[in-house]
Amino acid sequence: MAARHTASAPACARSHRAATLHKPPGTQKPRLFRPRFHWELLVCGVHGHELIGTDAAQLRPEETIVAREVAGVRWYRCVRCDSWLPLAPPAKPKWDLPPTRDEIELPLRGKALRDRVVLRIIAIDRAIHFLVLGLLAAAVFLFAAHEIRVRDVFYRIVNAVQGTNTSPAHPAQHGFLHTLERLFTLKSSTLYLVAAAAAAYALLEGAEAVGLWYQRRWAEYLTFVATLVFMPYEIYELTLTVSALKVAALTVNVLIALYLLFAKRLFGLRGGAAAEEERRARDVGWEALERTAPGSDPQV
């Protein structure tokens, strides 16, 4: 008896999980400690609902899962967030019938939608890195190319402001000026190398940003590897001085690496790309809409 109970428990948990997963977003009881983000509601909040047949004169019977007419009111189902919205039938319909299923590109839902939002947030982070590093590379290139002129201007301004007689022969002994002066003692070949390294790093971050924005698998691997490669340097930096910015940057990068590894199932982890595809098929598409339509069995 006990054995049979144990054997059926995982199946029971699975079907319960399937039922909760397929409840429309926003209708589930909020969890106390681990909030559940309804990505569909977030995206519908920004882009509006995705309704089908709002400008069609008539509805076909097969459209019942996305639009139906009850007592002179048209009920449309948002194909992203599953909300049903009552609207009057169109006064001046543009079409006789709504587009067929083949003509409709269904929006992302569930985990697939979450992944797109998260990957795009990481892409924006990488795009900011690209801009900052690109500007830095350009500034160092310019500085190296016009070092002597910049140095002359620098000393002229310093002497004019401070009334001193600082020059390369009589450098400042300490303080911020001293730090700035050390820049001028770097050879231009070193400066060019620093600029080239910054430019290469900027390009890497730029490639990650573009690939992640379009949800390319290679970009997920590239971002994971690049994040991991620079992590020892970030940790080394923290051993020198600790600042809130450095700690935040390292924490964000650790979270990104963990998300890519486990949630995006890199290197075949948790079933890899095949499991990812299966999950996507479960959440997105007409079959998912049919399964979660009112009156259907959510566990099928």
Q: Shortest approach of Zn ion to residue 79 CB, angstroms?
A: 8
3-state secondary structure of 169: coil
Q: Shortest approach of Zn ion to residue 284 CB, angstroms?
A: 14
Q: Shortest approach of Zn ion to residue 109 CB, angstroms?
A: 10
Q: Shortest approach of Zn ion to residue 70 CB, angstroms?
A: 20
Judged by beta carbon, residue 171 or residue 285, the one nearer Zn ion is: 285
H helices of the chain, in order, are 2-21, 39-47, 110-145, 147-162, 175-184, 188-213, 217-240, 244-258, 272-283, 286-291
> Could you tell me which residues are beta bridge partners of residue 56?
95
Judged by beta carbon, residue 75 or residue 259, the one nearer Zn ion is: 75
Cβ neighbors of 188 (< 8 A, separation 6 or more) are 144, 147
Judged by beta carbon, residue 49 or residue 74, the one nearer Zn ion is: 49
> Could you tell me which residues are beta bridge partners of residue 74?
69, 87
Judged by beta carbon, residue 28 or residue 179, the one nearer Zn ion is: 28
Judged by beta carbon, residue 27 or residue 185, the one nearer Zn ion is: 27
**In 10 A of CB 293, how many CB atoms?**
14
Residue carrying structure tokens 């449309």: 76
Q: Shortest approach of Zn ion to residue 78 CB, angstroms?
A: 3
Judged by beta carbon, residue 78 or residue 113, the one nearer Zn ion is: 78
Q: Give the integer Cα–Cα distance in Å for 126 and 186.
A: 30
Binding site for Zn ion (CB under 5 A): 44, 49, 78, 80-81
3-state secondary structure of 198: helix
Q: Shortest approach of Zn ion to residue 76 CB, angstroms?
A: 10
> Could you tell me which residues are beta bridge partners of residue 67?
76
